[in-house]
């Protein structure tokens, strides 16, 4: 993991300074002393008026809900969303997103379960957990756009974000403390398959996320805590589905990924 991480604040704006204090208090993060080497080779979290960024060398990563926004707008137009088909989330469900990442799936899931439901999201990288937690609270502002569909999507995402509870933890350890059938759906979208991925939009996540394979123990625990189903997203034709006992959901002929399901 990249650490320790230097924190920089672009101005003495009290809101930025308060945000810095908030980041300093987040669990699991190893912040380097203020007078650390300011060279670009040190990983850094920058708090600026344009947002919060994690950077290392020439890679930069920040929380942004744009992909979730796009998916919501497609749903309004009646287009299917394979993640929602695979998870079969209903209003009022509790979803355990065991691999939060940058929070796109968690947001779409929180939208689907509505105000009466909830998303509990687990992330093993303390820096990703912190930047997404901050982003969900502060980076979703309904813009003054003319397009009513877009305004509606922003407003619904803002509402959905409130229903996501972010935890920095290992998902196996977290699930061990949950009661049997304590949630409706457990969702895994591990990094493993993406280690071969050269795409620049995915690459920065590699620097910060945990690249390990999903463990059979974690899947077993997920089957214990999920009342309705456990879902795995993986590369098409991945041997992970067979290794971990998931049945592949039909469809997605032109997609590069598949969804596997276990009904406990
Ligand atoms: C591919 S990303 C998930 C992307 C996410 N679905 C989204 O929509 O942004 C996988 C994430 O799972 C996290 N992760 C991997 N193993 C984990 C574990 N054992 N416990 C918790 N999080 C884990 C990684 O750190 C990484 O951030």
Q: Are residues 180 and 235 in the same domain?
A: yes
Q: Are residue 77 and residue 10 in the same domain, yes or no?
A: no
39 CA distance to ligand 1 centroid (A)?
A: 28
What does DSSP assign to residue 31? B
Question: Which domain, by its residues, includes 17?
Answer: 6-61
Q: Are residues 119 and 147 in the same domain?
A: yes
143 and 190 both lie in a single domain: yes
Shared-domain flag, residues 160 and 240 = yes
Select from 189, 183, 184 the least CA-distant residue to 82.
189
Ligand 1 shell residues, CB under 6 Å: 99, 101-105, 122-125, 128, 170-171, 189-191, 194, 205, 209-210, 212
Domain boundary among 20, 39, 61: 61
Tell me whether strands 118-123 and 164-168 are parallel, antiparallel or unpaired. parallel
Q: Rounded CA gap, 94 and 181, in Å? A: 11
Q: Is residue 150 part of a domain?
A: yes
CB atoms within 10 A of CB 159: 15
The total number of structural domains that make up the chain: 2
Residues 153 and 31 in one domain: no
CA nearest neighbour of 207 among 25, 41, 84: 41
Backbone angles phi, psi at 81, to 5 degrees: -125, 115
Please check whether residues 101 and 231 belong to one and the same domain: yes
pLDDT value of position 177: 98
Q: What is the mean pLDDT of each run of 10 residues along the chain (264 residues)?
A: 88 94 96 64 90 91 95 97 98 98 98 98 98 95 89 96 98 98 98 58 80 96 98 94 97 92 96
Beta strands in the chain (DSSP E): 6-9, 44-48, 51-56, 59-61, 94-97, 118-123, 164-168, 183-188, 226-235, 247-248, 257-262
* Residue nearest to ligand 1 atom 2, measured at CA: 101
Output the pTM of the full model: 0.95
- Compute the distance from residue 44 Cα to the ligand 1 centre, in Å: 20
Chain-centroid distance of CA 174 in Å reads 16
**One domain for residues 34 and 83:** no
144 and 235 assigned to the same domain: yes
Do 27 and 74 lie in a common domain?
Answer: no
Q: How far is CA 251 from the centre of its chain?
A: 24
Q: CATH number of the domain that 111 lies in?
A: 3.40.50.150
Distance 204 CA to ligand 1 centre (A): 13
Tell whether 1 is covered by a domain. no
Alpha carbon of 166 to ligand 1 centroid (Å): 12
Q: How far is the CA of 95 from the centre of ligand 1 (A)?
A: 15
Tell me which residue has its CA closest to atom 3 in ligand 1: 101
56 and 114 part of one domain: no
Residues 178, 197: one domain?
yes
């Amino acid at each position: 993991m990249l650490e320790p991480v230097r924190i920089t604040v672009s101005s003495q704006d009290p809101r930025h300074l308060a945000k810095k204090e908030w980041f300093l208090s987040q669990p699991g993060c190893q912040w380097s002393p203020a007078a650390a080497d300011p060279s670009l080779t040190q990983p850094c979290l920058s708090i600026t008026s344009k947002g919060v960024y994690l950077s290392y060398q020439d890679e930069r990563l920040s929380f942004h809900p744009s992909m979730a926004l796009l998916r919501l707008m497609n749903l309004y137009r009646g287009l299917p969303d394979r993640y929602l088909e695979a998870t079969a989330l209903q209003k009022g469900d509790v979803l355990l997103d065991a691999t939060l990442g940058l929070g796109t799936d968690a947001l779409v899931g929180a939208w689907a379960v509505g105000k009466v439901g909830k998303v509990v999201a687990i992330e093993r990288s303390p820096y990703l957990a912190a930047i997404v937690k901050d982003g969900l609270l502060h980076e979703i502002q309904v813009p003054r756009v003319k397009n009513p569909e877009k305004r509606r999507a922003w407003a619904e995402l803002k509402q959905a974000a409130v229903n996501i509870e972010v935890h920095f933890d290992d998902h196996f350890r977290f699930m061990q403390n949950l009661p049997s059938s304590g949630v409706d759906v457990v969702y895994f979208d591990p990094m493993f398959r993406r280690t071969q991925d050269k795409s620049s939009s995915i690459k920065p996540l590699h620097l910060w996320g945990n690249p390990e394979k999903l463990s059979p123990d974690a899947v077993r625990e997920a089957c214990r805590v999920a009342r309705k189903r456990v879902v795995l997203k993986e590369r098409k034709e991945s041997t992970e589905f067979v290794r971990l006992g998931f049945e592949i959901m039909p469809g997605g002929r032109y997609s590069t990924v598949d969804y596997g399901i276990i009904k406990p």
